[in-house]
């Protein structure tokens, strides 16, 4: 059998497939459907310090080859997560990564400080796509200066590795990614959802109560691949790719483009067993191509002229 293991430098994974934050709950919701220990890791639903109700409904709208959501990072907060969820995840032989959110820079640090006292967490994924009220709603990931400041604060606070999750809604992903790298981020993950909207032609009203939402699913995969390739080509730290991965071949495209691991998101909403199927499809492909170690294909994209 092919060796699918991946070493990110700060974290070793049995395979490169992580369940993405926001579409996999806190992980336990999928236990009736799949063996969670077959995953490379689980990135749990985003956590603010306190419980958060999220945005008013309607919060979901289907789109051709995609889904637009404006859930608004609804969550139970770090205390409830630490008391009710984490003890049940801690025994898994699967990396547990917590997606950290904040309305201010200080809240990000506060969340990390609290979680640092808990056991069973492998790393933090810093979600800098949420609005920062100190900056008049500016998303930190849209600015290299804001990205650098928040990553630097998180790294000073954390005793664990920090992965910075980047937004696609920028003109220069490399500039933002390098700011995260220079601030000490151990890795970056990209992309988060693409800003979008939908209109009901009968009522002439937005289909989402929040008007705008984030587009995910197969429709954004070409965008995600381009941004992952650009970031991986310029960074020294690992890149984790996500955006529209529905099959093993999709995941392989990201690895060939330079990602060292991938996250599977919207596919989980269509098929609860998607992540496990994707792992199996990658393994089958390696067997067919007689590739002994999956890591050998990472960053092998040939862009030279024939």
Q: Tell me the catalytic residues.
A: 130
Q: What is the DSSP string of 142-165?
A: G-HHHHHHHHHHHHHH-SS-EEEE
Both tokens of 186, joined, read: 């151990």
Bridge partners (DSSP) of residue 43 are: 97
Residue 289's CB: how many other CB atoms inside 10 A? Answer: 11
Q: How many Å apart are CA 294 and CA 105, to the nearest integer?
A: 38
Strand, coil or helix: 124: strand
Peptide bond into 191 cis (omega under 30): yes
Q: Is 252:268 a contact under the CB 8 Å cutoff?
A: no
Residue 41's CB: how many other CB atoms inside 10 A? Answer: 25
Q: Which helix (H) or strand (E) holds 6?
A: strand 6-7
Strand, coil or helix: 175: helix
């Amino acid at each position: 059998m092919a060796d699918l293991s991946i070493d990110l430098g700060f974290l070793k994974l049995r395979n490169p497939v992580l369940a993405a934050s926001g579409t996999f709950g806190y992980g336990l919701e999928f236990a009736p459907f799949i063996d969670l220990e077959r995953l490379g890791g689980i990135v749990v639903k985003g956590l603010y310090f306190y419980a958060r109700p999220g945005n008013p409904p309607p919060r979901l709208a289907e789109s051709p080859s995609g889904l637009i959501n404006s859930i608004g990072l609804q969550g139970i907060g770090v205390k409830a997560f630490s008391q009710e969820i984490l003890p049940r995840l801690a025994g898994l032989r699967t990396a547990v990564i917590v997606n950290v959110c904040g309305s201010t820079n200080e809240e990000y640090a506060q969340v990390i400080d609290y979680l640092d006292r808990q056991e069973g967490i492998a790393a933090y994924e810093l979600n800098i796509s949420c609005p920062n009220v100190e900056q008049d709603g500016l998303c930190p990931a849209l600015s290299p200066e804001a990205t650098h400041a928040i990553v630097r604060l998180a790294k000073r606070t954390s005793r664990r590795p920090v992965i910075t999750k980047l937004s696609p809604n920028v003109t220069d992903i490399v500039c933002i990614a390098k700011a995260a790298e220079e601030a000490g981020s151990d890795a970056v993950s990209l992309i988060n959802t693409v800003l979008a909207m939908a209109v009901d032609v009968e009522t002439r009203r937005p289909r989402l109560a929040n008007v705008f939402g984030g587009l995910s699913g197969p429709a954004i995969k070409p965008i995600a691949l381009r941004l992952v390739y650009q970031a991986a080509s310029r960074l020294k730290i690992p890149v984790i790719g996500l955006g529209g991965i529905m099959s093993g071949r999709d995941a392989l495209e990201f690895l060939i483009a330079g990602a060292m691991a991938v996250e599977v998101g919207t596919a989980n909403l269509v098929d609860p067993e998607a992540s496990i199927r994707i792992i199996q499809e990658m393994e089958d492909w390696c067997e067919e191509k007689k590739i002994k170690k999956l890591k050998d294909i990472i960053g092998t994209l040939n862009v030279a002229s024939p």
